[in-house]
Structure 1
Amino acid sequence: MVQRIIPVQSPLNADFENFVHETLQKWHVPGMSIAVVDGEHTWAEGYGISSFPSTPVTPSTLFFAGSTTKAFTAAIMAQLVEDNKTYPQVQWKTPVNQLIRDDFVLADEYATQHITIEDTLSHRTGLPRHDQSYGNNLSRETAVRELVRSLRYLPLTAEPRTKFQYCNLMFVAASHVIQTVTGKWLGDLLSRQIWKPLDMKATFFSLEDAQVAKEDLARGYSYPLFDEDDDNDETKYKEVGWMSLNEISGAGSVVTNVLDYAKWARSLMYKTGPLSSETYKAIWEPRTVMPADPDAPFTGPSAYTLGWWTGVYKGYQYYEHTGGMNAFGAELILFPELKYSVILLGNTAGTSNCAAKKLAFHLIDEKLGIPAEKRFDWDQYNKAIIDRAKERDQNSIKHLYPSLPSPRLPAILPLSAYTGTYTHPGYQTLTIYLDQAENILRADRTYTTWSESLSFEHVSGDYFIARSVHDGDLGAFVPTVYPAEFVVGVDGISQKVGVGFEEEMGKEGRIWFERV
């Protein structure tokens, strides 16, 4: 009897294409590239617009991959740990301060002496994000060291190893360790030790290299007037300039396409190299238990490994990481037991991640044969997050200042008296000026890595709300709100301003800028 061989069909079919376009329109994402690795098969397609007015996304289109970079940084570090002959001083339990002693100093002496390499790569150092602190257009030669040296001025908000707190800066510190002990730029190490062996010819670690590549580099966009019922008017898209990657380094500098990432995903699932079995074991070992999300569709405990989240979905363990840059989003999820992976790259901030989650799990549910009525509603999940952000913005006074005098107090000084330049050694400068047309205080922090424009709304006395509009994450269409207050000296001059940039510091926590 002749056995009939049924050809494997691509999941990226016409029905899925229609589903993608509906999803991109709903979430206001111009374009997205998607790849699926299923056993020995790889499929990839591009959807929508790479750059307006009409450049299409293809599987070879380059996108910023954001924090999916962290897995590469952890892999390089694991290789150094494994190489006891060349780098015996680099071990998971090695305090970072022993390797970059002059540069790695934290606000707490105990943390300075005890934070290890493993801690920096698993978000348990006690340092929160502090993403609004760094930048200032630094060069490749100086950026990483300057950012690490600024850590000493940033408040910790937990004891070491007691709380998961996502922190890009600690992956920058890990990058500094790698570059210091090897004497090589991290981008060169990644290319030599991972990308070239995997024939990943369209993966880069600098904006400049990506710009001169033969592949098209997508433009990033934001849709600031976000409304899911909007008609997706092309004229409302705002093009966002490509951000420099010097300051992000091993936290998020990769630019790539889904074809190359499919090669990376396959090597991880099959453990075919160039990483060793010991390195694979190290990077996927759970290190930090994650807080439970009762609204998410996962079961059992979840954890952060080294550059990966891991958990269980429908009985299968997955490894996953999202990426978010100014006007770009990425999603990479692997099911090693199934030898199944989905990679998605899009060109908006925040909304492309919402679309990517929905599309990724549609493909995963199709693979697992989950009935439609039993599938998780990712639109509802992500809409709830956005609604909470909108509500926080619309009711910011109630959220940030629940106890105010009635009637509210007038400002102690005329608004013009609060203007001036204020500085903080970790958060740099805050130059406040009076927008006379609208009679409101403003500050433009366009020089930081995650640039933002602040407006100060008076609340009562010397208390204000700082409302931030920026191009990254949810702030692209829902402003971020911070508490802010001024301190006036006995001479009647504003001496300092405190802004609650870091949410982990609590409602009363402030970053204090002193008047120059």
Structure 2
Amino acid sequence: MAENNTPDPLNSHFNKLVQDTLNQWHVPGIAIAVVDGDNTWTKVPNHPPGYGIATFPSTPVTPTTLFYAGSTTKAFTAAIMAQLVEDNTTYPQVQWDTPISQLIRDDFVLADAHATAQTTIEDALSHRTGLPRHDQAYGNNLPRDTAVRSIVRSLRHLPLTASPRTTYQYSNLMFVVAAHVIETLTGEWLGGLLTRSIWTPLAMASTFFDLSSAQQSNADLARGYAYSPDTDTYNEIEWMSLAEISGAGSVITNVADYAKWARALLNQTGPLSPAAHRAIWTPRTLMPAEAPFTGPRAYALGWNTGVYRGVEFFEHTGGMNAFGAELILFPKLRYGVVALANTAGTSNYVEKALVFHLIDEKLGVPVGERFDWNRKYLTERGFLLVRNASYVEEERKKVQDAIDYRPPSPVLPHRLQPVEYTGTYVHPGYQTVEVYLDEATRVLRADRARTTWPEYLSFQHVNGEHFLAIAEHIGDLGAIFPEVYAAEFQISEKGKPCALGVAWEKAMKDEKIWFTRVDS
């Protein structure tokens, strides 16, 4: 809604752009809110298609439709931590430079003793701990009362790839660590603390921290979808549990509520104090430069920050299974945009294109000078094809090149019959890989359905005991193109497989995560 006579940016021209972009990227629906000074606009569709579909066949998206907000959650986790840092009466031991191991000594152990002792709260919340993503290590269908602590305790088994405070490496796991610190010190579930400390004061009554609460509300929760270009169909993705995600990405919300959060941040008002506002937006870690932004970017505490067209912004993208989110704020302009949508990967492409269209309109950027976000992300096979290689096109080519790779002749056969490689392989940080033989195709497979980000592997022989693990995903970007990891079996002196190595973590370069066979 508009609070004065300022023109509505979500006009008929923009409505057409939204629908065209949704169609182009095969995203069922999107919700958008704009905060501009004292005005707030949200799209209320008067008739189909409006801003598309929340749930097929015909439930429309509205400003009150709930979506998973993904990593935009990190800003809330940082905000709660800022409140603890500020409360020197109750939590004098909690400062930004406090080593985490001093707060959760038994649980927080990294693979390196120096890193364990040196890693601070600030390091964890600004992605500079030396721990890379390790996203495939996540979870094992853990319940809420044990998930966060179990995941934090598993970090000791995950290789570091840098020394603390030397480089930016995005890590969801470190925001789970932050959640564990908060819950341990306060004795309160982070979702309850957020509700009491931030969401209730801001009247964000439709913002939740777990799936069951969102389902029990009266609000409509959008379904997430993965588009299949081969069949031109949308596959509904099961709503994912959030117990293992916690402070890294557990928020479910709508754009009407998020507009309230955006306004409080833009105006630097409560429930956060001025000191907390300053803390979460202070740049901490340099990030690589990236078009169309000028100069270096940085990560603050739960926020990306940089300069666009000469104006400072604070932003975060979110992605969950079959959902995407975008929140960007320009404090000096008192301007912000929120977007939530319901597909795997492509939601974020749509959001970037539409959000920056609104920003360019606000800044008066001539059409011919605007950055082409669609061209950056466009791909073939079901999407619009462009001549210049795009991000997704390049990623797809990398995958195909890996799959098509043939080693120099002669190619060595694998030493054993395929069935002999089957069995249970275990890693203390990456859980379990159950390798089995698909009788129909005679291909070795492993279904990692219990991990937080499920993936389904098939092993393609390369040379000797070396394979490619081709990973199909359900609900995330891997639903568009698979990921490919180098894999290798080790054979013991008894002539039996004793270990499986998979190069799951890209930051480890050519190193593999090694699983020990336990059923031989």
> 1:397: how far off?
4.8
Aligned residue identity for 1:361: F
Equivalent residue number for residue 504 of structure 2: 501
> 1:501: how far off?
0.6
1:430 equivalent in alignment to 2:425: no
Equivalent residue number for residue 329 of structure 2: 334
Equivalent residue number for residue 28 of structure 2: 30
Question: Superposed, which structure 2 residues align to 1:278-293 within 5 Å?
Answer: 278-293=275-290
Q: How far apart in 1 are the matches of 2:60 and 2:200? A: 27
Question: Superposed, which structure 2 residues align to 1:29-108 within 5 Å?
Answer: 29-45=27-43, 47-108=51-112
Equivalent residue number for residue 375 of structure 1: 370
Q: Counterpart of 2:228 in 1: which secondary structure? A: coil
Residues 100-109 or 405-414, more deviating: 405-414
1:469 equivalent in alignment to 2:469: no
Equivalent residue number for residue 9 of structure 2: 11
> 1:121: how far off?
0.2
Equivalent residue number for residue 252 of structure 1: 249
Aligned residue identity for 1:99: L
- Deviations 1:5-44 (CA, angstroms, capped at 9, x unpaired): x931111111111100110111111010000001111011
> 1:490: how far off?
1.9
Equivalent residue number for residue 173 of structure 1: 177
Q: How far apart in 1 are the matches of 2:252 and 2:489? A: 41
Question: Superposed, which structure 2 residues align to 1:117-516 within 5 Å?
Answer: 117-225=121-229, 233=232, 236-293=233-290, 296-383=291-378, 384-397=390-403, 404-506=407-509, 508-516=510-518
- Deviations 1:320-353 (CA, angstroms, capped at 9, x unpaired): 0000000000000000111110000000121000
Gaps of 5+ in 2: 45-50, 379-389
Q: How far apart in 1 are the matches of 2:268 and 2:221? A: 30
Q: How far apart in 2 are the matches of 1:162 and 1:224? A: 41
Aligned residue identity for 1:18: K
Q: Counterpart of 1:237 in 2: which secondary structure? A: strand
Aligned residue identity for 1:475: G
> 1:224: how far off?
3.4
Does the CA-based 8 Å contact 1:324-1:472 persist in structure 2?
no
Does the CA-based 8 Å contact 2:226-2:476 persist in structure 1?
no
Q: TM-score, normalised by structure 1?
A: 0.95
Q: How far apart in 2 are the matches of 1:367 and 1:40? A: 15
Equivalent residue number for residue 3 of structure 1: none
Q: How far apart in 2 are the matches of 1:194 and 1:387? A: 41
Does the CA-based 8 Å contact 1:463-1:485 persist in structure 2?
yes
Q: How far apart in 1 are the matches of 2:31 and 2:81? A: 29
> 1:313: how far off?
0.3
Q: How far apart in 2 are the matches of 1:421 and 1:480? A: 22
Aligned residue identity for 2:203: D
Does the CA-based 8 Å contact 2:289-2:295 persist in structure 1?
no
Identity %: 63
Q: How far apart in 2 are the matches of 1:398 and 1:310? A: 40
Gaps of 5+ in 1: 1-5
> 1:392: how far off?
1.2
Q: How far apart in 2 are the matches of 1:312 and 1:10? A: 25
> 1:473: how far off?
3.5
Matched pairs, number: 499
Q: How far apart in 2 are the matches of 1:407 and 1:17? A: 59
Q: How far apart in 2 are the matches of 1:272 and 1:478? A: 43
Aligned residue identity for 2:127: H
Q: Counterpart of 1:209 in 2: which secondary structure? A: helix
Aligned residue identity for 1:40: D
Aligned residue identity for 2:511: G
Does the CA-based 8 Å contact 2:237-2:475 persist in structure 1?
no
- Deviations 1:342-373 (CA, angstroms, capped at 9, x unpaired): 00000012100000000000000011111111
Does the CA-based 8 Å contact 1:157-1:505 persist in structure 2?
yes
